[in-house]
Homo-oligomer: A and B are copies of this chain.
Amino acid sequence: MVQVKMSRKMKISERAAVAKAASIRLGAVKTEVKNAALNEIAKALLENGARIVEANQRDLEAARTSGLAAPLLKRLKFDEGKLADVCAGIHSLIKLPDPVGRTLGAIEMDEGLELYRVSCPIGVIGVVFESRPDALVQISTLCLKSGNAVLLKGGSEAAHTNRILADTIAQAADAAGLPAGWIHLLETRQDVADMLALDEQINLIIPRGSNAFVRHIMSRTNIPVLGHADGICHVYIDADADLEMAVRLTVDSKCQYVAVCNAAETLLVDADVAPTFLPQVQAALEACHCRLKGDDRTRAIIPIELATEEDWSTEYLDYTLSIKVVDGLDAAIDHINRYGSGHTDAIVTADREKAERFMNLVDSADVFWNASTRFSDGYRYGLGAEVGISTNKIHARGPVGLDGLVIYKWKLLGKGQIVADYTGPNARKFTHKKLR
């Protein structure tokens, strides 16, 4: 605990340097030791439960006084139920395989000269999240399991809760023998601005929050950012769709939970089936109290509000859906690649070839055939733990599990071999025999 409290008096660049040094040692800590530390952290959180909930009460009171909106108050709340949830999360994390130290490939370059590609932590991760204090526990334990040091900045309205959570985690990890200085809590906006400038010390930024928040972070750093700003997801109803299935998938993609990035925002309908399909889907969506906006061709079939150009790029995160009639598969693909956010897009069709064309040509992290866009999620994908959802085109894409927090190094084990022996007229030949 001492170390985290002391750390708060240090400059961010100093804390990042401490974190970097700690990350080197944490990267070599054995799985059993990391799991034992995670177990101690869960125990310490439960033992400090009353104090944590009390700290959260102070945050909640201040937030109520300052007039924070009800949904944000709900996200800020950290009670016994939330505590039990994060501890259950830690115990699931303990059971996951260690992403560090896995041999990803091995080759014999020559007799007695063996090359191994081995997974290792990325180094120092900077995490910035909005009000939910449970994110602090989730992300710091994910970093621990994957051997990364972490600098965390939570919402200022959760300051008391975040402090006691970070102190509890640091102290328990300390007691379990982990290298000190692997976790640091930042508290001000200036701290974040300072951190985002430290591209020499910090290897990856993970923002968690609204799309405006994520976009704000992305625009202010040269450090790679893992995440997504928008989730403008599409469902395309092909001419060869089973229309009953198409209605079901549209309703689920749009209405099963509207406030999330993998909910659909635009429905594209092939002109051939639009006259039959649109009235059916309208009835089903309106039964869910979903507001509909359409282009002229849609409105010629069902009487709904007009969708403007802006609608095609809007993530409503609400019971609102824009609808467009398109002339076939390629028009749908073009619309998605133009207006989409590269997150999750689905086709409904009975035609395998058209489905394959859609999945190959739609340039998105997740491309679905006859399934709801809402399946795009780390837990549903069986990743065990979700670090975030990425719309990046390098490193990790779509739902990211623990694997997204590691990279690899090349280990070459020799017996004194030199390159001079492998060059020139009498050069030894490499065998390049695959070992694994």
Residue numbers in B under 8 Å from A331 (CB-CB): none
By the criterion CB–CB under 8 Å, are B371 and A256 in contact? no
How far is it, in angstroms, between the C-alpha of A372 and the C-alpha of B375 when the chains are bound? 49
Residue of B109, B392, B408 near A397 (CB, 8 A) is: B408
Q: Is A411 an interface residue (CB 8 A)?
A: yes
CB-defined contacts of A113 to chain B, threshold 8 Å: 371, 375
CB < 8 Å neighbour of A409 from B107, B367, B417, B422: B367
| A24 contacts B412, C-beta separation under 8 Å | no
In the docked arrangement, what's the CA distance between A24 and B364, Å? Answer: 11
Chain B CB count within 10 A is highest, among A222, A248, A372, A415, for A372
Residue A381 interfacial (CB < 8 Å): yes
Per the bound structure, the CA–CA distance linking A367 and B413 in Å amounts to: 9
Please indicate the chain B residues that have their CB under 8 angstroms from the CB of A348 in the complex: 416
Interface status of A308 (Cβ within 8 A of chain B): no
Comparing A80-88, A138-146, A355-363, the segment that makes contact with chain B is: A355-363
Kindly state whether residue A155 has any CB partner on chain B within 8 Å.
no
Q: Does the CB pair A115–B381 fall under 8 Å?
A: yes
**Beta-carbon contact of B115 and A370 below 8 Å:** no
Q: Is the interface of A mostly helix, strand, loop or mixed?
A: mixed
8 Å CB interface, A232-253 against B: 242, 245, 248-249, 251-252
Taking a contact as CB atoms under 8 Å apart, the answer to whether A122 and B430 are in contact is no
CB atoms of B203 and A419 under 8 A apart: no
CB distance from A399 to the nearest CB of B (A): 7
Is residue A69 within 8 Å, beta carbon to beta carbon, of the partner chain?
no
Cross-chain contact A399 with B393 (CB below 8 angstroms): no
Identical copies of this chain, number = 2
Any B CB within 8 A of the CB of A90: no
Chain B: minimal CB distance from A430 (Å) = 6
Task: Mark contacts of A350-384 with chain B using CB atoms, 8 A cut-off: 1 yes-contact digit, 0 otherwise.
Answer: 00000101011101111111111011100011100
Q: Is A224 an interface residue (CB 8 A)?
A: yes
Give the interface centre of A27, A375, A411 by most chain B CB atoms within 10 Å. Answer: A375
| Complex Cα–Cα for A115 and B222 (A) | 33
Cα–Cα, bound, A411→B380 (Å): 14
Indicate if the CB atoms of A371 and B413 lie closer than 8 Å. Answer: yes
A337: chain B residues at CB < 8 Å are: 24
- Across the interface, A394 reaches (CB within 8 A) one of B107, B122, B414, B430, namely B122
User: Is the beta-carbon distance between A398 and B371 smaller than 8 angstroms?
Assistant: no
A419 near B372 with CB under 8 A, answer yes
CB-CB under 8 A for A409 and B252, given A360-B27, A382-B107, A395-B394:
no
Min CB distance A151 to B, Å, is 15
In the bound complex, how far is the Cα of B28 from the Cα of A309, in angstroms?
A: 29
Contact of A109 among B123, B381, B416 (CB under 8 A): B381
Q: Are B370 and A418 in contact (CB under 8 A)?
A: no
Q: Specify the chain B residue showing the minimal Cβ separation from A421.
A: B252
- Interface assignment of A75: CB less than 8 Å from any CB of chain B: no
In the complex, are the beta carbons of B416 and A363 less than 8 A apart? Answer: no
CB of B381 within 8 A of CB of A419, answer no
Is A407 a contact of B393 with CB atoms below 8 Å? yes
Q: Give the shortest distance, in Å, between A125 (CB) and chain B (any CB).
A: 10
Structural contact, B256 and A420, CB atoms closer than 8 A: yes
How far is A203 from B410 in the complex, measured between Cα atoms in Å?
A: 25
A-B contact list, 9 entries, CB within 8 Å: A27-B360, A27-B361, A109-B380, A204-B394, A369-B411, A376-B410, A380-B419, A382-B430, A394-B395
A-B pairs, top 9 by smallest CB distance, nearest first, are: A371-B414, A252-B418, A382-B432, A374-B419, A245-B416, A395-B395, A203-B393, A394-B395, A28-B360
